[in-house]
Amino acid sequence: MLYHTTWLISKLDPLKYMMESTALNGRMARWQILLFEFDIVYVNQKAVKGSAIVDFLASRALEDYEPLNFDFPNEDLMCVVTAREGDPEELPWKLNFDGASNAVGNGIGAVLVSPDGDHYPFTSKLDFNCSNNMAEYEACIMGIRAAIERKIKMLEVYGDSALVIYQLKGEWETRDPKLIDYRKMVLELVKEFEDITFHYLP
C-alpha cells in the first residue's frame, strides 16, 4: 500500500472528517498520524458510483472496433449433448470433508459432488469439546450419512486428514481410544455402499 494511492470509499461523514480535518486531538489524532504514512484519499461513494461505468468503458476501449455479427451459423441446432463414459448411475459420487477444532469452537463440513458436477454442501457446528481428529471423523460421518440418505452406492471420499484417511483404509493402526469408536462407526456405514474408496488430499 505504500507504493499506491488508496481510495477510501465511504458514505460515512465521520471518516471524511477524520481524513480531512486539520485539528484533531486524542485517539483521532493518533489514527490520523498513523494513516498519513499511506497515500489515502477519501472519495464519496456517490462519486465512485457515477464514474464506475465511465471508467470501465474507457478501460475497455478498442482501437480496431468491429461491429457485431448477428448471423448465427448454427441456428438449426437445438441442443448439444456431451459424451460421457458410462451411465451416470454407475459413476461414483465424490465426498470432500473437513473438520476443525480450536479455542473458538468446533465445526465440520462436507460436500457431495454428483457425477454431473452438482455440489451439495453440508455444515454443522459441534456443541461439545473435541480434538481436531474427532472433528475430522465427525465431518466424514456426516458426509457418508448424507450419501446414504441419497441412496448413493458408489462413493469416493476425499479428506485432508492423513490420520483419518489412512486409519479408514486400514494402513494405520487406531490407538487413540477416542477415535476407535469413530472408526467402527464409519466401517459400519461403509457396508451400505457397493464401492467406496478413501483418498488423502494433502
pLDDT digits (tens, 9 = 90+) for 185-199: 999 999 999 999 999
Residues 29 and 4 in one domain: yes
Which letter does DSSP use for residue 63 in this model? S
The total domain count for the chain is 2
pLDDT at 54: 63
pLDDT at 121: 92
**The last residue of a domain, from among 62, 82, 102:** 82
More confident residue, 114 or 89: 114
Amino acid found at 94: K
pLDDT at 198: 95
Residues 25 and 62 in one domain: yes
pLDDT at 183: 93
Which letter does DSSP use for residue 32 in this model? H
Positive or negative: CA dihedral 192, 194, 198, 199? negative
Taking 60 as the threshold, does the pLDDT of residue 81 lie above it? no
**The last residue of a domain, from among 55, 82, 109:** 82
**The last residue of a domain, from among 60, 82, 104:** 82
CATH code, domain with 151: 3.30.420.10
Residues 51 and 134 in one domain: no
Taking 70 as the threshold, does the pLDDT of residue 132 lie above it? yes
C-alpha span between 155 and 145 (Å, rounded) = 12
Residues 95 and 185 in one domain: yes
Across the chain, mean pLDDT equals 79
Residues 104 and 65 in one domain: no
Residues 191 and 103 in one domain: yes
The whole domain housing 101 covers: 90-200
Residues 114 and 173 in one domain: yes
Residue 23 cell numbers, joined: 485539528
**pLDDT-derived band of residue 136, with 50, 70 and 90 as boundaries?**
very high
pLDDT tens digit string along 5-22? 776 776 666 666 666 666
Residues 138 and 58 in one domain: no
pLDDT at 128: 85
Give me the count of residues in the chain: 202
Which letter does DSSP use for residue 21 in this model? -
Residues 62 and 97 in one domain: no
pTM of whole model > 0.85? no
- Per residue, the 3-state secondary structure of 89-149, as one string, reads HHCCEEEEEEEEECCCCEEEEEEEECCCCCEEEEEEEECCCCCHHHHHHHHHHHHHHHHHH
Residues 171 and 145 in one domain: yes
Residues 113 and 59 in one domain: no
Taking 80 as the threshold, does the pLDDT of residue 155 lie above it? yes
pLDDT at 13: 63
Residues 113 and 62 in one domain: no
**pLDDT-derived band of residue 50, with 50, 70 and 90 as boundaries?**
low
pLDDT at 83: 44
